[in-house]
Structure 1
């Protein structure tokens, strides 16, 4: 458990109270629950635990891509499929039977949350823990039975339990949407002052959460196990919609709140001003009252997204510049600039790759000068504590975990017992995506063990394409040692 005097990021958040979501849920695949009415989020509290485990993973950790087509493909592969999984809740408000959701449904809910977190640039090695799932399910049952929402339900509530009350007080709550749809609603958070549900869902320190859906209610337990603050110190800010390419339903709407959160030690956004620029012209915005750590605004100058106008589906990319002035960091007034480019994923994937390459706008990084803060693209320092988990993930063939570790600071030249390198393991086992990422991050291809280098290992194992990839990096021919055994140790 965390000591009360521990300096931590969650101290900044002072959200309100409650989520209220309307029962109408759109059937549009791009964003599954957009016409929701929201109240306030749960108040900040101490997480149940701060995990100091050296490594922890759930299945399919994600790393968001940056290219136009890859963002569209990422959306198709990691968002769209999870909106069609059925709930199959086994409980009932009659008789107060808590029940469970299908494993596939809970996994779909988790993957939807991972998608948003990947797009936001925060860790995706998260999971749902049964300890917190039980509390979330009990809370969802109470909301279902009462047909109401509260973070502090009284003993007179139908189906009341102490476990359900604890779950209600520690969860984002939704009535009228469940599972993946509820995650959509929490991240959108339209009409909620301070976008508290979004803040908890996308908080960098989240690690183990809980989920529980009834037929019409959902609880996302957000004060479970958090990761140590030092593991996410490189994340200086979180913007939503994020910088770069973004599916159009995630912000191209006058009623969709935009937000920018800073995690700098000494920062003040309370007097910051937002400017949005589209096609060289300012877009009208309505700012909420600023906080030191959070800025929220609505792009009122954009058209309202409705079913009648196909939710502002664009016929070409829509590039919007964001300029935030009077941002106080370390006692100095600075500006933050970034660009959000809205795309239609379906249309992008229908285009020939040559056309996409010619249309893609790659100049989305903020200008860097002493007055511009570019902390959304901070270089991740090497973290040697991630090296052993990286080698194990590669050995076990867990590509997503390996890529996630590299994105968080694992050394691309990590070695097992000062001998076998990460590149050697990836090449030997034929993990092309990992090899490509290791090379991109500067893995040394020249290291040899008894005459064997990574390219030779790949060639020896029959992974010719990987061997060629490594060889192109070195401009050297592949030399497979003759009459020498090749035995790979378990890292």
Structure 2
């Protein structure tokens, strides 16, 4: 079986020059290396404007002041690497579930959307096997989609289009707790769209994606009215028993090329119980192509639109950026290094992992 090169454990340290002492003459020399880059928050480039929106929730509390003095990074423990055979087996099991669905109509569409969301969560090492559709939340999502259709626009705070007040209040409340989209065609494509979430309007927060990857999600609801789709996404009923360092998309390890795109934003959401909320001015992101099992540090990819979002879209503390000239093809591999972080007890640390793109696994979405 092919083994992914273990590049996460290799570190390079600056070693002081040896001090030479003589009986008649004493001399000491030291050599310092420095390599720093200032993260500049710039607006996302103009790309195709997709029709979606997401309500902004109140920001998280500000973290304690970070230390000013530079310190060497301490590599964070990487997630356990999953073999390609294990990844394929897990995704194939979910594909088989899809093939064996016996529902029809909108219920079949809902079940397929749930399975697609479970695939993304499986890829990202998040709980997914017990994720369920809740009938009441399905109805709420449908109410949110329906009021958007009546208004002819997406809104998390819709006005009354002329329906009875009780119906309006339910739809308005549901819309404030849903991912919304228009023009996707079906709910499965809406899940893919929310996981992309990289259009200019959503890039700086990636709120749809982060709700999809909320580790505390246990139940959800989805609904569609014509071309308007909604997913009730604000559930946090799962006990916090799932241990994680960070939630990354793309995640460490193998990633099928049909589940990530070259123009997608990269996101790394740090566990607030293990990391102090990062400061944009303190962090740097480097992405290196891997060639012959080694990170090619002579040719890093240019990183743009680096930002930090602390809003509570599932989990706060999210680092967001986009690499230029990313090649998302099978056998293309990259090493990601995020520096300038602090553990919850104030120790300097970093996150480092490798991503390797592999052949597509997920079948084409039915029309």
TM range (shorter): 0.5 to 0.7
- Consecutive unaligned residues in structure 2, runs of 5 or more: 1-47, 59-79, 311-316, 362-367
Query: Secondary structure at 2:307's aligned position in 1?
Result: coil
Q: 2:125 aligns with which of 121, 125, 133?
A: 121
Structure 1 residue 328 corresponds to structure 2 residue 327 = no
- After superposition, the C-alpha distances for 1:430-452 in whole angstroms (9 at most, x for unaligned) are xxxxxxxxxxxxxxxxxxxxxxx
> What is the match of residue 286 of structure 1?
304
- Is this contact kept in 1: 2:267–2:318, CA < 8 A? yes
> What is the match of residue 272 of structure 1?
283
**Structure 2 CA distance for partners of 1:44 and 1:79, relative to 1, 3 Å:** farther
Q: CA deviation at 1:79?
A: 5.1
Q: CA deviation at 1:161?
A: 2.2
**Structure 2 CA distance for partners of 1:112 and 1:75, relative to 1, 3 Å:** same
- After superposition, the C-alpha distances for 1:340-374 in whole angstroms (9 at most, x for unaligned) are 1001136xxxxxxxxxxxxxxxxxxxxxxxxxxxx
- Which structure is higher in strand share? 2
Give the TM-score normalised by the residue count of structure 1: 0.50
Q: 1:189 aligns with which of 188, 194, 197?
A: 197
Distance 2:95 2:300 in 1: 32
**Structure 2 CA distance for partners of 1:174 and 1:284, relative to 1, 3 Å:** same
Q: CA deviation at 1:122?
A: 1.2
> What is the match of residue 299 of structure 1?
323
**Structure 2 CA distance for partners of 1:71 and 1:221, relative to 1, 3 Å:** same
Q: CA deviation at 1:72?
A: 3.7
Q: 2:232 aligns with which of 217, 221, 233?
A: 221
- After superposition, the C-alpha distances for 1:30-69 in whole angstroms (9 at most, x for unaligned) are xxxxx87154423338xxxxxxxxxxxxxxxxxx992224
- Is this contact kept in 2: 1:36–1:185, CA < 8 A? no
Query: Secondary structure at 1:277's aligned position in 2?
Result: strand
Q: CA deviation at 1:291?
A: 3.6
- Is this contact kept in 1: 2:52–2:180, CA < 8 A? no
Q: CA deviation at 1:238?
A: 0.4
- Which structure is higher in helix share? 1
Q: CA deviation at 1:83?
A: 10
**Structure 2 CA distance for partners of 1:327 and 1:173, relative to 1, 3 Å:** same
Q: 2:50 aligns with which of 37, 43, 60?
A: 37
Q: CA deviation at 1:241?
A: 0.6
**Structure 2 CA distance for partners of 1:86 and 1:185, relative to 1, 3 Å:** farther
Structure 1 residue 247 corresponds to structure 2 residue 247 = no
Distance 1:162 1:65 in 2: 47
> What is the match of residue 145 of structure 1?
150
- After superposition, the C-alpha distances for 1:110-145 in whole angstroms (9 at most, x for unaligned) are 111111111111111211111211111111112223
> What is the match of residue 66 of structure 1?
82
Q: CA deviation at 1:78?
A: 2.6
Aligned length in residues: 269
> What is the match of residue 211 of structure 1?
222
Q: CA deviation at 1:158?
A: 6.8
**Structure 2 CA distance for partners of 1:250 and 1:283, relative to 1, 3 Å:** farther
Distance 1:190 1:172 in 2: 14
- Is this contact kept in 1: 2:141–2:178, CA < 8 A? yes
> What is the match of residue 353 of structure 1?
none
Distance 2:232 2:348 in 1: 37
Distance 2:234 2:254 in 1: 31
> What is the match of residue 353 of structure 2?
338
- After superposition, the C-alpha distances for 1:205-248 in whole angstroms (9 at most, x for unaligned) are 0111111112211111012452233x23x223100011000011
> What is the match of residue 109 of structure 2?
105
Distance 1:212 1:149 in 2: 14
Structure 1 residue 165 corresponds to structure 2 residue 167 = no
- Is this contact kept in 1: 2:90–2:122, CA < 8 A? no
**Structure 2 CA distance for partners of 1:274 and 1:174, relative to 1, 3 Å:** same
> What is the match of residue 270 of structure 2?
262
RMSD: 2.9
- Consecutive unaligned residues in structure 1, runs of 5 or more: 1-34, 46-63, 90-100, 304-311, 347-491
